[in-house]
């Protein structure tokens, strides 16, 4: 039996995707060759890359709207500097809602003036700031749509004419959203899209050539876009498996259908966190993430008892990030609802025993 996998990342993928990916490593589509030993310039792989880019645009409703999807390496962390390298001429605004935003700010400062428009650091990032003004002279405004570590999520986007740039690593493809509000968004694959090793960037083509500085080829969006993500050898396994997962998302009815399922899962878990007198949620209720639920035991002395119940039930990956402590249940697209039901049963068993 497989474990109930609540890992925050690298995270769970649908079992059929895992199965198809494993098959392709042995032999790609009856070709008598493995996916990982063929040329990335072969027709077979070019088709895979093209399909991955098309699916990313189709799922987000951005096909034919002047956007380009590219698959890069270096993780979301490289995007912290690439966004600034390519877009920050004078001044950029950042919403600081957690560790990842904080890191993005640090990198952007290497390239120009950075204004922290709002921050929730004062309360260990347990909420999403709401009252702030966005000055009109920014090259872009950067935000992190879902804060993987703290379990908060933007429910609405800031209203602004300033180009919006978003780190969507942990909630891409997770809910219906007007993606055209963004001028650029990026996501490291290993949370909700695929295995580690590639990062999806979707960028409005009108953003190319925005800055006067010279940009090294490997760090230029325009270069990667003009070469259809084949400027250098792409991470073939990560792109292929992400493509399979996007096919799976489409077969499930797309992002909107998955968004409804994700809401059912998170409602079930938060309902229990609020009902069960032994637990308390970490994040502000109105800002709670559908992807990563953070919660604590009110009495830390019950930790061993709860951990042992969870272990017996076959739950894995529930430990909270060290900067928050407690527990974090990551409920990405591929997590079946019965995993959440098992977790809720464990919480109720603890309550019954104590
Ligand atoms: C995990 C994560 C990152 C870091 O991703 P890497 O691919 O490890 O660089 C950045 N932002 C968010 C929101 C994340 O969840």
Q: Work out which ligand 1 atom sits closest to the CA atom of 199.
A: 7
- Tokens standing for residue 45: 């792989």
Cα 229 from Cα 69, distance rounded (Å) = 9
pLDDT on residue 1: 75
Is 148 a pocket residue for ligand 1 (Cβ < 6 Å)?
Answer: yes
CB-count exposure of residue 89 (10 Å: 0-12, 13-18, 19+):
middle
Terminal Cα distance for the chain, rounded: 29
Report all structural domains of the chain as residue ranges with CATH numbers, in order of start. Answer: 15-251 (3.40.640.10), 254-353 (3.90.1150.10)
pLDDT on residue 166: 98
Is 317 a pocket residue for ligand 1 (Cβ < 6 Å)?
Answer: no
| From 7, 75, 147, mutation site for ligand 1 pocket: most ligand atoms within 8 A of C-beta | 75
Condensed to tens digits (0 to 9), the pLDDT of residues 86-101 reads 999 999 999 999 999 9
351 alpha carbon – ligand 1 mean position (Å): 35
Cα 266 from Cα 353, distance rounded (Å) = 25
Positions of the chain with pLDDT lower than 70, given as ranges: none
- Measured CA to CA in angstroms, residue 287 lies from 147, 283, 353 at distances of 10, 7, 31
Is 144 a pocket residue for ligand 1 (Cβ < 6 Å)?
Answer: yes
Per the prediction, the chain carries an average pLDDT of 97
pLDDT on residue 137: 96
pLDDT on residue 177: 87
Q: Whose CA is nearest to atom 5 of ligand 1?
A: 76
Q: What is the value of pTM for the model shown? A: 0.98
pLDDT on residue 150: 98
pLDDT on residue 235: 98
pLDDT on residue 69: 98
Q: Whose CA is nearest to atom 13 of ligand 1?
A: 169
* Residue 122 CB partners (closer than 8 Å, separation 6+): none
245 prior amide bond cis, ω within 30 = no
Q: Catalytic site residues?
A: 100, 167, 191
């Amino acid at each position: 039996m497989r474990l109930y996998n609540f890992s925050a990342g690298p995270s769970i993928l649908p079992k059929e995707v895992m199965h198809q990916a494993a098959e392709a490593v042995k032999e790609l589509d009856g070709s008598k060759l493995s996916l990982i030993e063929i040329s990335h310039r072969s027709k077979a792989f070019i088709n895979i890359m093209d399909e991955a880019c098309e699916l990313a645009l189709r799922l987000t409703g951005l096909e034919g709207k002047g956007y380009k999807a590219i698959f890069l390496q270096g993780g979301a962390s490289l995007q912290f500097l690439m966004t600034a390298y390519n877009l920050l001429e004078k001044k950029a605004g950042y919403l600081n809602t957690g560790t990842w935003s904080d890191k993005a700010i640090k990198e952007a400062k290497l390239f120009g003036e950075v204004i922290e428009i709002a921050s929730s650091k004062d309360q260990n990032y347990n909420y999403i700031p709401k009252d702030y003004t966005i000055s009109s002279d920014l090259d872009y405004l950067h935000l992190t749509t879902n804060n993987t570590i703290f379990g908060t999520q933007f429910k609405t986007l800031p209203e602004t004419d300033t180009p919006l740039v978003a780190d969507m690593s942990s909630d891409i493809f997770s809910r219906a959203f007007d993606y055209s509000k963004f001028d650029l968004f990026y996501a490291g694959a290993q949370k909700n899209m695929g295995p580690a090793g590639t990062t999806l960037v979707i960028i409005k083509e009108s953003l190319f050539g925005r800055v006067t500085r010279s940009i090294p080829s490997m760090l230029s969006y325009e270069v990667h876009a003009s070469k259809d993500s084949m400027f250098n050898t792409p991470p073939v396994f990560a792109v292929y498996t992400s493509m399979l997962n996007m096919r799976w998302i489409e077969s499930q009815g797309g992002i909107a259908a998955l968004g409804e399922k994700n809401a059912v899962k998170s409602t079930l878990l938060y309902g229990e966190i609020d009902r069960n007198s032994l637990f308390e949620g970490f994040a502000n209720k109105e800002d709670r993430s559908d992807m990563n639920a953070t919660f604590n035991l009110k009495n830390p002395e019950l930790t061993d008892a709860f951990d042992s119940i969870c272990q017996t039930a076959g739950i894995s990956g529930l430990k909270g990030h060290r900067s928050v402590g407690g527990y974090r249940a990551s409920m990405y697209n591929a997590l079946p609802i019965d995993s959440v039901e098992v977790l809720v049963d464990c919480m109720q068993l603890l309550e019954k025993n104590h």
